Homo-oligomer: A and B are copies of this chain.
Amino acid sequence: MVEVTRQGRKGLLFVVSAPSGAGKTSLCQEVTKIVPNLEHSVSFTTRPPRPGETHGKNYFFVDEGTFQQKRERNDFVEWAEVHGHLYGTPRELLMEKLDKGVDVILDIDSQGAMQLKKKYKEGVYIYILPPSPEVLRTRLMERKSDSPEEISRRLKKAREEIWNYRQYYYLIVNDDFKEALKKLESIVIAERTKMRQLDYSWIEETFIVQR
């Protein structure tokens, strides 16, 4: 493979939001498995772990005091309160990856994404929708970890969350998981193929200077 990626190129930042139940987390996890050099950013949260979730892998689970301290120290590039819990993206970990040229996928809610977009326009903002509100409800009910009150709170929140969708650059409707995954993968590959991501000096030395 010819290396056309710019030397010292900073990683691309993919920011993915969706109402809960749209399949965002699974899509973001799967895409890092099929696309090389793409890593998932792990957020801090005050939410208790769900069954099967691991500290340091799914989230860094911390108490509210620790979270607020980090927030005050400006340790988060964005943070938000969702369903009564706090979520934040750690600045240092993210910047380290991007500086190394690793592309990062950030799976955050639209409040946080819109904060980030003001500072970081060159990020790639992707919104994921379920095919209908009914599907959203069914998916939330199948996720047995949530109580009925939690489900109806999440559904109401979903409507609010969706309000911002037009601020994103891409929209994926997660009707069929495989197809949605292919779209997400395609966005990552296409963004990497954009002219500004590439090493002009290699091209100019090879094809243009050499005449």
Contact = CB atoms under 8 A, between A and B. Distances in A.
Given A183-B189, A186-B186, A2 B175 contact: yes
Nearest to A169: B195
Given A185-B186, A198-B171, A208-B163, A131 B2 contact: yes
B169 A4 contact: no
Contacts of A127: 195
Contacts of A131: 2
A80 interface: no
Q: Which of under 10, 10 to 19, 20 to 34, or 35 or more describes the interface residues of A?
A: 35 or more
A198 B158 CA distance: 20
B193 A172 contact: yes
A162 interface: yes
Contacts of A186: 185-187, 189-190, 193
Interface string A197-210: 01010010011101
A82 interface: no
Nearest to A207: B162
